[in-house]
Amino acid sequence: MIRDTEKLIVCPGVYDGLSARIAHEVGFDSLYMTGAGTSASRLGMADLGLATLSDMRAHAEMISNLKPNGAPIIADMDTGYGGPMMVYRAVCEYIRAGVAGFHLEDQLLTKRCGHLKGKEVVSREDYYARIRAAQAARVHMGSDIVLIARTDALQSRGYDECVARLKVARELGADVGLLEGFTSREQASSCVKEFQGWPLLLNSVENGASPLITVDEAREMGFRIMIFSFASIAPAYQAIKATFERLKTDGVIGTKGEITPKKIFDVCGLGDLVDIEVGSGSSVYAKDNI
């Protein structure tokens, strides 16, 4: 998609099957599987490098295959989960899982969310080794999976170091760049100019380390992909907590009447599943009997 359009691709962050289904229901062209959200939903753990390749790959595979041939999924690949061999393996696994694009960063394996303090990055050479391994994997697999080079060096090493790292990542074959945690709009805008002709991705984390930049502003600046990492996990937290509090105090959940169990199952593909069953000649799940 990034190779076929000049438009800004807007990806809501999804963290589980239901949030991915809701993104499909609303009709987004592309989705982002957040690592922070995967860690929270799959492990119940903070985004501190605890999710393994197996956790991430399994989650990405489930989300990517909810709608085969549907909106492509960009998935977080964190640090690549080890040295170059492991990065190579991670990319091969994401390709087999049906992921359309992934971002690979330069934080230490003991990483943390890009919007926390105290981030450290590996040396330039170690980072480039990760990018080379990722590039080799997709070449060997004959895959067009999109390689997004991310740097988290801004906090500890400054803007110029980020630009230097991304320039080499571009030379090594990365399709897209991601400078994590811009501290101002001016910085975000000048970064796009710096890399004119090479697509940049903007990670929007409301209430995170960066100023709020709207989709229109990002488009105006020239970003080509925008992900909203917390677009489902933050509102889910808010809504679930408010509901649980109501349950505790009032003894009811209080959901609107139209939110029936069937409504939720419809969002989760009930119609398509029944079509498969009926089309196969079975009447167990007939349309008028469910």
Ligand X SMILES: C[C@](O)(C(=O)O)[C@H](CC(=O)O)C(=O)O
Length of the chain: 290
If one asks whether residue 177 binds ligand X (CB under 6 A), the answer comes out as no
Q: Retrieve residue 101's tokens.
A: 């694009």
Measured distance CA(88)–CA(140) in Å, rounded: 10
If one asks whether residue 203 binds ligand X (CB under 6 A), the answer comes out as yes
Residue choice 17, 98, 173, 208 for contact with ligand X (CB under 6 A): 208
Q: Which is nearer to ligand X, 54 or 260 (CB)?
A: 54
CB of 92 to ligand X, least distance (A): 21
Q: Which is nearer to ligand X, 114 or 177 (CB)?
A: 114
CB of 153 to ligand X, least distance (A): 13
Q: Retrieve residue 29's tokens.
A: 């062209």
Whether 232 contacts 22, CB under 8 Å = yes
CB of 127 to ligand X, least distance (A): 16
Q: Which is nearer to ligand X, 237 or 265 (CB)?
A: 237
If one asks whether residue 229 binds ligand X (CB under 6 A), the answer comes out as yes
For ligand X, the binding residues in 31-70 under the rule CB under 6 A are 34-36, 47
Measured distance CA(75)–CA(216) in Å, rounded: 23
Measured distance CA(223)–CA(154) in Å, rounded: 18
Whether 72 contacts 100, CB under 8 Å = yes
Within its chain, how far is the Cα of 259 from the centroid? Answer: 28
Residues that bind ligand X (CB under 6 A): 13, 34-36, 47, 76, 113-115, 180, 203, 205, 208, 229
